[in-house]
Chains A and B, each alone.
Chain A
Amino acid sequence: MRILIVEDEKSLADIIKKGLEEEDYSVDVAYNGEDGLFMAQNEPSDIIILDIMLPIIDGMTILRRIRKAGVKTPVLMLTAKDGMADKVSGLDSGADDYLTKPFHFEELLARIRALLRRDSEVKTCVVQVGDLFIDMASHEVKRGGKEIALSAREYALLELLTIKRNKVLSRTYISEHIYDYDFNLDSNVIDVFINRIRNKIDRGYETKLIHTVRGTGYMLKG
C-alpha cells in the first residue's frame, strides 16, 4: 500500500515516513503544498496524509483541487487546529478522516488501516481468505493454523492482494502500490515476489489461493 505524506515540518514528515515504512507501507513525502498537489494528482497513492497549514498552497486548497480533478484517494487530514469548524470544513471539502496534532503514532496506523479497508470488501483487521488468515495490525499470516513468515515486501504484496481480493491486479498496479516514487520500476520483480509468496502460502495445499490471470495479472481468491 502506498501512502503520500504532505507535511512541511521536515522532521515530522520524515519520522512518519520511517514509521510507516517499518509497517511495510511505501511512502512518498512532499514538503510543500505545490509538490504535494502535483504528487497527489500524478502519483498513484492509496492514502494521502495531508497537513492543513502548508507553504505555497495550503492543504485545504490541495484537497479541493484534487477532488475537483477526480482523485478519489482517501485523505487523512493532519491539523494543528482542533476547532470544530476546521474539522467540519475539512471533512466537507473531501477529507475522509482527520487527526489533531499531536497524535499517537498507533492511532495514525489504525486510521490508515481503517481507510484502506474502506472501499474494500475487507472490513476487519483480521482477514480470512479460504483457510488463510491475515492480521493487518500485527502482520501475522497463518494458513491452516501454521504461521507463515514473510518479508516486508512480501507482506506488502499479500496485503495489497488481500485488500483487493477477488479482483485482478496488473503488475503495474501492484508495483505502483507497493513501491514508492524513488523505486525504479521493473514489473518482472512483481513476478518474482508473487512466486515467493506462492511458495510460502500455496505450496503443499490442495486449494490454490493466488491465481494468475493470463495476460492481465494476479488475484487472491479463496
Chain B
Amino acid sequence: MLSSIKARVIIFYVAILFIILPALGIFLYISLGKIIYNSVDSSLLSGAKALATLVSNENGETQFSFSDEIMWEYNSIKAKNFFQIRHFGGTTIEKSKSLRNLELPLPSDQNRISYQTIDLNGELARLVNFRFMDYGDDEHEKKDPVVRRNASGFIIQCAVNIDEQEALLKNYRLILSLSIFSIMMISAVGAFFIAKKSLSPIKEISDTIKGISESNLSERITPRNVPKELRGLAASFNQTFERLEKSFKRQKQFVADASHELRTPLSVILSQSEVMLRKERSAEEYKNALIAIKEATGMMSEIVGKLLAMARLSSDKLELKYENIDLIEIIRKGVKLLTPLADRKDISINISVSEHPIIHGDRAAILELFVNILDNAIKYNISKGKIDISIKKEESFIVTEIRDTGIGIDEKDLDQVFDRFFRVDKSRSKTTGGVGLGLSICEEIVKLHGGRIEIESAIGIGTTVCIYLKENGYIAVN
C-alpha cells in the first residue's frame, strides 16, 4: 500500500489534516469558552461591586441599602443570579432569596478576587468572590491607619447560573466536531482525486512506453504533454529509446547483410542438388555436384564463423581475458601461422624490432587481429611481394605498422573498409576469398583494447595498416 505514491500522498495529506483540524477545533472551542466566561465573570464582578456600594458598617452593625430594582434579579426563587455576603471568616450576613437554603462555597483564599465554577444544586454556576473593606465615606478617614485597622471586611459572593452558556458551548463543540469531521472526509476524498490527477501524466508516460515495441521504436514521449517535473524522466526514456532504436537498426542491418552473404552459397547448393535430381546421373556428375556443394558449404561455414566471432566480440566483451602480453611474440606466432600461405605466393615477411613492448590484452583476440591483417597483406599482395612489420612508440601507444606491396585500395573505398561485409572487389569468387568481415573484426578488437586502427593505401604500391595499442611496459632485448 505504502509503495504507491498515490496512497502515500493521501495518507500524508490526511494525517496532516487530522492533526491540524482537531487542533484548530480545540483552539476555537477554548477561545469561545474563554470569551464567554470572561463576559460572565466581568458582569458578576460589576454586580458584586454594585452590591458592595450598598453595604456599609455603621456602629458595628452592617447596613444594607438594597433597592428593589437591584434585588429584582436576585430575590425571585427562580432567578438565575445569586449573592451571599459574608464577614471575613465566613459568617453569612445576607444572601439572595434565589439561593433558598443553599450556600455558596467559601473561597479558599479570601484575600483576593477569585472566580470559580461551582455545582449549585445540580446546576452549573459561575461564582465570583469579591473582598470588600468598608472604610467609610470620608476621604481623610480612609487613610487613617486606625480607621483602617477597625474597618470591617466583607466577602461579596455573586453567582450566576451558566447552564445556558454551557449549552451554547456544548452546541458549538458539536457543530465544530461535525464540521471538522466532514471537512476531513471531504479532503480525504479530494486528496484521492488530486493524487490521481497529478499522477495521471506518469500513467500517460507509462502507457506510451508500454505501447512502444520493436515495431514502433521510433515513437517517442511527446515532451509538451509532460509536466515540467517529469520532463527529465521523459527525456531519459526518449534517449534510451534512441539508443535502443539505433542498436536494433544495426542489428537488423547486420542480420540482413549476413543473410545476404549466405544466399549465394545457398543458391549453389540448391541449384546443384535440384539440377542433379532432375534425372539419373553418372557417378562423375554426382561427384562434381557434391564437390561444388562442399565448397559452398565451406564458404558458408567461413561466413558463419566470422559472424560468430563478430557477435562474440560485440556481446561478450567480458569474456576477454586481459593479461600482459609480449606483442612481438604474438606477431611472430601470427606470421608463423600464415607462412605456408605466404610461401605459396613467394612473399617475404620481415619483422624489424629493437624492443619487446608489453601490452595489456586478450591473447587470442590480439592474435586474431594480426592474423586477419597479415592474411589481407598476403591475399592482396603481388607474387614475390614483401610485407614489412615495424613497431614504434607514439605517446602512450605502441604502433605496429604492417606495410605490404599489394594491389592497394582505391581512395574512395578506404573509408568503407571497416564496414561490415564491405569488399573492395564486389566479387564473391573464391579466388580472393573474403566475406568482408575481417577488418570489422579487427576494428572491434582494437576498440575493445582502447586502441585504434588506421589504414592508408595507394593503388599499385601497397597498403599500410597501423595498429595503435596501449603500451604497458617493455622487456629489453638481449
Could you tell me if A105 and B266 are in contact, using CB atoms closer than 8 angstroms? no
Could you tell me if B271 and A19 are in contact, using CB atoms closer than 8 angstroms? yes
Contact partners of A15 in chain B: CB under 8 A: 268, 271-272, 275, 289, 292
A-facing residues in B50-100 (Cβ within 8 Å): none
The answer to the question of A80 belonging to the interface, with a C-beta cut-off of 8 Å to chain B, is yes
Contact partners of A9 in chain B: CB under 8 A: 264, 267-268, 428-429
**Set A55, A58, A102: member contacting B263, Cβ < 8 A:** A102
- Known contacts A11-B295, A80-B263, A102-B263; A53 and B275 CB within 8 A of each other: no
**Set A31, A32, A100, A105: member contacting B271, Cβ < 8 A:** A105
Contact partners of B268 in chain A: CB under 8 A: 9, 11-12, 15
The answer to the question of B279 belonging to the interface, with a C-beta cut-off of 8 Å to chain A, is yes
The answer to the question of A22 belonging to the interface, with a C-beta cut-off of 8 Å to chain B, is yes
Tell me, rounded to whole Å, the shortest Cβ–Cβ distance linking A113 to chain B: 15
Could you tell me if A8 and B296 are in contact, using CB atoms closer than 8 angstroms? no
- Residue in chain A with minimal CB distance to B426: A53
Could you tell me if B271 and A8 are in contact, using CB atoms closer than 8 angstroms? no
Could you tell me if B274 and A105 are in contact, using CB atoms closer than 8 angstroms? yes
The answer to the question of B410 belonging to the interface, with a C-beta cut-off of 8 Å to chain A, is no
The answer to the question of B217 belonging to the interface, with a C-beta cut-off of 8 Å to chain A, is no
Number of A interface residues, CB 8 Å?
Answer: 27
The answer to the question of A167 belonging to the interface, with a C-beta cut-off of 8 Å to chain B, is no
Could you tell me if A12 and B275 are in contact, using CB atoms closer than 8 angstroms? no
- Known contacts A22-B275, A104-B274; A12 and B267 CB within 8 A of each other: yes
Number of B interface residues, CB 8 Å?
Answer: 25
- Known contacts A8-B429, A15-B272, A54-B427; A101 and B263 CB within 8 A of each other: yes
* Whole-angstrom CA separation of A104 from B270 in the bound complex: 7
Could you tell me if B269 and A102 are in contact, using CB atoms closer than 8 angstroms? yes
Query: At the interface, is chain A mostly helix, strand, loop or mixed?
Result: loop
The answer to the question of B425 belonging to the interface, with a C-beta cut-off of 8 Å to chain A, is yes
Contact partners of A101 in chain B: CB under 8 A: 263-264, 266-267
Contact partners of A58 in chain B: CB under 8 A: 426
Q: Mark A160-191 against chain B: 1 for CB-CB distance below 8 A, else 0.
A: 00000000000000000000000000000000
- Residue in chain A with minimal CB distance to B295: A11
**Set A53, A83, A102: member contacting B267, Cβ < 8 A:** A102
Could you tell me if A105 and B275 are in contact, using CB atoms closer than 8 angstroms? yes
The answer to the question of A103 belonging to the interface, with a C-beta cut-off of 8 Å to chain B, is yes
Contact partners of A80 in chain B: CB under 8 A: 260-261, 263-264, 267
- Known contacts A18-B275, A104-B270, A105-B275; A12 and B429 CB within 8 A of each other: no
The answer to the question of B224 belonging to the interface, with a C-beta cut-off of 8 Å to chain A, is no
* Whole-angstrom CA separation of A81 from B263 in the bound complex: 9
Could you tell me if B260 and A81 are in contact, using CB atoms closer than 8 angstroms? yes
Return 26 A-B CB contacts under 8 Å, by A number.
Answer: A8-B428, A10-B429, A11-B272, A11-B295, A12-B264, A12-B268, A15-B268, A15-B271, A19-B274, A22-B275, A22-B278, A22-B279, A31-B429, A32-B427, A58-B426, A80-B261, A80-B264, A83-B256, A101-B264, A101-B266, A101-B267, A102-B269, A102-B270, A102-B271, A104-B270, A105-B275
6 closest A-B pairs by CB: A55-B427, A102-B267, A19-B275, A11-B292, A105-B274, A102-B266
